Amino acid sequence: MCGLKSKDSIEPVYQTAEITLYNGDCFDVMCNFADDYFDMIFADPPYNLSNDGVTCQAGRMVSVNKGQWDKSNGFEADLKFHESWIGECKRVLKPGGTIWISGTNHSIYQCGFLLQKLDFHILNDIAWFKPNAAPNLACTTFAHSHETLLWAKKNKKAKHIFNYTAMKNGTFQEDKIKIPDRQMRSIWSIPTPAAAEKTFGKHPTQKPVALLKRIILASTNESSLILDPFNGSGTTAVATKIIGKRKYTGIEINKSYIELTIKRLNLLENINENLFSKIQNSE
Ligand SMILES: C[S@@+](CC[C@H](N)C(=O)[O-])C[C@H]1O[C@@H](n2cnc3c(N)ncnc32)[C@H](O)[C@@H]1O
């Protein structure tokens, strides 16, 4: 089901026809997966920025610390960490498979360097612009208002999925600025997640569903297999389920974030069931 080399190597904690979740370290889980298995990987690894700085949230000064998992262990250790998981991602991607890596200046240059070192072919670097980003409280730099998304393919010569027309005509632009017949540009303006996306609690680096929907619609097709080795609150799982007809595998080390993911998925299930019974009742 999930490309496991042997059936009993590791058990998922949640499994449906579309979604499989593992609670564990992504190295331990990924090393059980078969080679050349996934069509697309979205990875939102630790940013290594939780080093006791401050930021602004709803007008208040708050710590930037996201959790122990986000602390830097020094340049060399962080580089080694990123090299291990990116290397494993390369092994489990199909030859024409692509990987998206998101990050800030704290992590993205190391990840970009490693994509080049590990012989990926970089397709795009997207600037995800956050129109509602928090101001820089210290007034010592420009306000940090974007994250970078690197998009790369495993094998330069293999054909990769890019749904050019769908992206070109703007059908999937979540910011509703529809620019027909223009190629979609590499700067994407998408707000940070709204309160409605945090109904069951917050993840400190939760991505907006709109961002993941765009990524999935751009770089996968029906029946594609998607992996997110740093599942967090499960935004990639939620977007996969909303779009449908694809299969998702997520890995998350923190059990409470797996629980949060399951609550978000169950909400979708309930919405679907309610819609289904409304449709049935109206017939
Ligand atoms: C930047 S967050 C991902 C947020 C996610 N994209 C979302 O929208 O909620 C990174 C996540 O990776 C998890 N993590 C850190 N190290 C890990 C590892 N070695 N294996 C699996 N998960 C890990 C953290 O607990 C955290 O939830």
- pTM for the complete prediction? 0.90
Instruction: Specify the ligand 1 atom closest to the Cα of 193.
Output: 8
Tell me 141's DSSP state: S
* Domain annotation for the chain: domains and CATH numbers: 14-282 (3.40.50.150)
pLDDT, tens digit, for every residue of 38-94? 999 999 999 987 677 767 676 777 777 777 887 899 999 999 999 999 999 999 999
Largest CA distance in the chain: 63
How far is residue 196's CA from residue 110's CA, in Å, rounded to a whole number? 33
Q: How far is the CA of 206 from the centre of ligand 1 (A)?
A: 10
- Give the mean model confidence (pLDDT) for residues 235-254: 97
Of 190, 229, 214, 10, the residue nearest 99 (C-alpha): 229
Q: How far is the CA of 282 from the centre of ligand 1 (A)?
A: 42
